[in-house]
């Protein structure tokens, strides 16, 4: 049986026995006055990576700012004014188990995971998964999708000349300076009355897959040492990531809508060697793509979310020659994968279906360790042994 930690109200106070994980922000955008161009070309993700110990490093807020609380309120169809106070009271003080801009640590090229969030979520809500992967030697890019499936997200556009004129103290030559940028928020788009759902979700899953592929392309450029324009202020030394990634060992992973996104991305990009779909919502996918998915897939399902029709669509990806595995973790619910499951008491958690019958720490440990075993098999055992030994996770290997 897999071991698990003592029950806790919050994963964010949990102390990992593995090497520490660091985190930094990345917002890579090509600027244009046309917002559609920015949304298409920009890449927005939170990067998790193995890090060195640092006394100065701080843990970041779990929810970055109030606009995300507003987005969650809209997604849940509750009043913003009331919900913001409730959300801030319940979750506003939590930190994630990673260190902001901590120095990168790796003595061997790290395997890479691109992570896709679920419907109504955003890039920070899966820190239990992403930080655990990073603490075990992965570089993980947790993408924030701009297809209007996130509860909230944002991008930057350049100020118009009129807006610049209203700020005469800002030099007009600094076209890419943050002071010359305007934040534009995007919130979750609900279905319109009488609107068919499949066309919207299918369009979104295709954009989401493209955003995962774009995030991978940005990581490839970072790995090559090419300078990239990050409009978010960060103290992280990006040059330390040059030649840090094993670009022959890349996986895509996601939860719910993100699970469907992972499958779509596998179809579109052969650089992804395998995929992990956590409680995947298969509805957005066009079944015509299934025969074109050639990589191994691991479905990790909750007990309470899945239904016969959804499982039937997963089964259509069965293959006699490519590994397609499926497991169900007993006692789990759909929200056993995002961080919310750790942040509420037992009664409220079960009332809001954020907790199942199983200890949430045991559930995420089972999921994480099953994922790691699958990734080890399909990204290359030698890659993992090299990373684990150089990071001190393994003291030796006997064959």
Instruction: Give CA–CA dist 25/154, Å, rounded.
Output: 13
Is the separation of the CB atoms in 268 and 286 below 8 Å?
A: no
Instruction: Give CA–CA dist 172/180, Å, rounded.
Output: 8
Residue 325 lies in a domain: yes
Q: What is the CA radius of gyration of the chain?
A: 21
On average, the pLDDT of the chain sits at 84
Instruction: Give CA–CA dist 293/260, Å, rounded.
Output: 12
Residue 366 lies in a domain: yes
Residue 86 lies in a domain: no
Residue 89 lies in a domain: no
3-state secondary structure of 373: helix
Which residues are part of the catalytic machinery?
A: 256, 279, 334
Q: What φ, ψ does residue 238 adopt, rounded to 5°?
A: -70, -20
Matching residue, tokens 């015509």: 288
DSSP type of residue 366: H
Helix 197-223 vs helix 257-268: crossing angle, to nearest 10: 60
Q: What φ, ψ does residue 126 adopt, rounded to 5°?
A: -125, 40
Q: How confident is the model at residue 29 (pLDDT cuts 50, 70, 90)?
A: very low
Half-sphere exposure of 305 (CA within 13 A, CB side): 24
Is the separation of the CB atoms in 17 and 5 below 8 Å?
A: no
pTM given for the model: 0.86
Beta bridge partners of 113: 140, 251
DSSP for 94-119 reads -B-SSEETPPB--SSPEEEEEEE--T
Sheet containing strand 99-100, strands side by side: 99-100, 21-28, 43-50, 139-143, 110-116, 245-255, 274-278, 297-302, 324-329
Residue 82 lies in a domain: no
Report the candidate in 122, 131, 179, 145 with the shortest Cα–Cα distance to residue 24.
131
Q: Is residue 36 predicted with pLDDT exceeding 90? A: no
CB atoms within 10 A of CB 314: 20
pLDDT in tens, 305-327: 999 999 999 999 999 999 999 99
Region of 286 please: left (phi>0), alpha (psi -120 to 50) or beta. Answer: beta
CA 87, distance to chain mean position in Å, is 21
Instruction: Give the residue-averaged pLDDT of 336-363.
Output: 91
Matching residue, tokens 């110990």: 53
Q: Is residue 247 predicted with pLDDT exceeding 90? A: yes
3-state secondary structure of 79: coil
Structural domain including 179 reads 11-60+95-391
The tally of domains found in the chain comes to 1
Residue 285 lies in a domain: yes
Half-sphere exposure of 366 (CA within 13 A, CB side): 19
Report the candidate in 36, 264, 257 with the shortest Cα–Cα distance to residue 146.
36
Q: How high is the pLDDT of residue 38?
A: 38
Residue 83 lies in a domain: no
pLDDT in tens, 194-220: 999 999 999 999 999 999 999 999 999
Q: How high is the pLDDT of residue 107?
A: 77
Residue 54 lies in a domain: yes
**Max mean pLDDT range (50-54, 162-166, 229-233, 376-380):** 376-380
Residue 326 is encoded by which pair of tokens? Answer: 């499926």
Q: How high is the pLDDT of residue 234?
A: 81
pLDDT in tens, 366-383: 999 999 999 999 998 655
Q: How high is the pLDDT of residue 385?
A: 52
| Domain CATH code at residue 297 | 3.40.50.1820
Instruction: Give the residue-averaged pLDDT of 51-68.
Output: 86
CB atoms within 10 A of CB 271: 18
Report the candidate in 356, 353, 357, 349 with the shortest Cα–Cα distance to residue 9.
349
pLDDT in tens, 134-176: 999 999 999 999 999 999 999 888 888 887 777 765 444 334 4
């Amino acid at each position: 049986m897999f071991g698990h930690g003592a029950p806790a109200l919050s994963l964010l106070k949990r102390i990992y026995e593995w090497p520490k994980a660091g985190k930094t922000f990345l917002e890579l955008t090509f600027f244009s006055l046309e917002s559609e161009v920015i949304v298409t070309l920009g890449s927005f993700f939170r990067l998790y990576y193995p890090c060195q110990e640092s006394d100065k490093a701080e843990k970041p807020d779990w929810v970055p700012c109030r606009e995300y609380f507003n987005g969650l309120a809209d997604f849940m169809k509750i009043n913003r004014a009331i919900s913001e106070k409730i959300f801030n009271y319940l979750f506003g003080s939590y930190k994630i188990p990673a260190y902001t801009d901590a120095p990168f640590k790796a003595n061997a090229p790290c395997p890479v995971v691109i992570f896709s969030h679920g419907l109504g979520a955003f890039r920070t809500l899966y820190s239990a998964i992403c930080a655990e992967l990073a603490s075990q030697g992965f570089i993980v890019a947790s993408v924030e999708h701009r297809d209007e499936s996130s509860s909230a997200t944002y991008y930057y556009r350049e100020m118009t000349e009129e807006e610049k004129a209203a700020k005469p103290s800002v030099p007009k030559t600094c076209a890419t300076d943050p002071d010359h940028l305007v934040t534009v928020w995007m919130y979750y788009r609900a279905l319109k009355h009488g609107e068919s759902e499949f066309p919207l979700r299918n369009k979104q899953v295709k954009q989401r897959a493209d955003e995962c592929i774009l995030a991978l392309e940005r990581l490839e450029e970072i790995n090559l040492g090419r300078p990239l324009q990050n409009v978010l202020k960060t103290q992280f030394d990006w040059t330390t990531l040059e030649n840090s990634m094993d670009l022959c060992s890349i996986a895509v992973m996601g939860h719910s809508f993100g699970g469907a996104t992972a499958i779509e991305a596998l179809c579109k990009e052969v650089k992804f060697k395998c995929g992990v779909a956590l409680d995947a919502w298969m509805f957005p996918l066009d079944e015509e793509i299934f025969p074109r998915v050639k990589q191994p897939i691991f479905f990790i399902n909750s007990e309470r979310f899945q239904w016969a029709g959804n499982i039937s669509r997963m089964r259509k990806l069965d293959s006699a020659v490519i590994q397609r595995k499926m497991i169900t973790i007993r006692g789990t619910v759909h929200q056993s994968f995002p961080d919310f499951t750790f942040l509420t008491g037992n009664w409220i958690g079960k009332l809001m279906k954020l907790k199942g019958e199983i200890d949430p720490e045991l559930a995420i440990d089972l999921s994480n360790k099953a994922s790691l075993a699958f990734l080890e098999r399909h990204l290359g055992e030698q890659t993992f042994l090299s990373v684990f030994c150089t990071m001190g996770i393994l003291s030796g290997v006997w064959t």
